[in-house]
Amino acid sequence: FLSLVAEFCCGFFVILILGNFWFLAVLYLLWLYLDWETPCTGGRRSQWVRSWTVWKYFREYFPINLIKTSDLNPNHNYLLGFHPHGVLVAGAFGNFCTGPSFKNLFPGLTPYLHIMPIWFGCPFFREYVMSAGMVSASKESVSYVLNKEGGGHASVIVIGGAEESLNAHPGSLTLNILKRKGFIKMALKHGAHLVPVFSFGENELFKQVANPKGSWLRNVQEKLQKIMGFALPLFHARGIFQYSFGLIPYRQPIHTVVGSPIPVKRNLNPTTEEIEELHALYLQKLRKLFEEHKRNYGIPEHKSLIFE
């Protein structure tokens, strides 16, 4: 979805250069140079864009719901770990970038959805994603949000990243998290409370071509992901007037459950042991969150999360 919009924006920029509006392209490049650091300094959100009626239809299509399990004190800053990535990351976008749900459930908190820095190099597209409340996933960007005085700010990070999208098959419960500990270190350095978030239904929106680990397709996808910075899952779903094939996601409900916060004391120089200890506690709380709610959202009793 992001790729399609980005391609359209880049195409429009090329038209400006090749057409009679090249001077507009030059002016925009100057603006891009002057505004380059904005995605790392809190972005530039627009409540008007975040409230577009189209997002209401987007959320109702699946539908997308946000579930609160505990209060989040707005006097603190938080790092929300979102799982799983899925193909579309629809739960993260629908709940943290559009609509009033988060604000109503967690008054006093401002969410920032962190995405790959590569998207902010795309002309015009960067303005669109920033207006929706998205910022860079760079260390500088996360630090900027979590270092804000007075609390009331929440970094939302899709922990599994692009790599995890290759596991986004219906019924899959595999999370890429065992080696991902950078977010733990960031939480410790800034004293940001950790909050596990699990989005039930995220992997049910598309069917992906079989790509088990070790297969030639998976090997190619992983190599491309390392080169380009983002993964290329081969997926399909339904069409506009038929349900057998197309790129429109299936109409499956998404329930994004926000867990209880894990208190974190500020530690500017955490040791490896301290990072490992907090990482283990986070995994424990994430698994507990999943187990407590899986029955409500159609997950069989015998199924559990797989960490790799």
CA distance 158 to 82: 5
Q: What is the pTM of this model?
A: 0.92
Q: Grade residue 9 by pLDDT with cuts at 50, 70 and 90.
A: low
Whether 157 contacts 79, CB under 8 Å: yes
Q: What is the DSSP string of 77-141?
A: -EEEEEE--TTT-HHHHHHHTSSSHHHHHSTT-EEEEEE-GGGGGSTTHHHHHHHTTEEE-SHHH
- CB count, 10 Å around CB of 263? 9
Whether 87 contacts 235, CB under 8 Å: yes
State how beta strands 235-236 and 174-175 pair: unpaired
- Least confident piece of the model among 129-138, 142-151, 232-241: 232-241
Give every CB contact of residue 13 below 8 A, 6+ residues apart in sequence: 25, 28, 123, 124
Q: Which two tokens stand for residue 204?
A: 């049910």
- Is 306 in a helix, a strand, or coil? strand
- pLDDT score of 4 more than 60: no
pLDDT of the residue at 232: 82
Q: What is the pLDDT of residues 27-83, one digit of tens each?
A: 878 888 899 999 999 999 999 999 999 999 999 999 999 999 999 999 999 999 999
Most confident of 22-26, 135-139, 163-167: 135-139
- Least confident piece of the model among 22-31, 182-191, 194-203, 271-280: 22-31
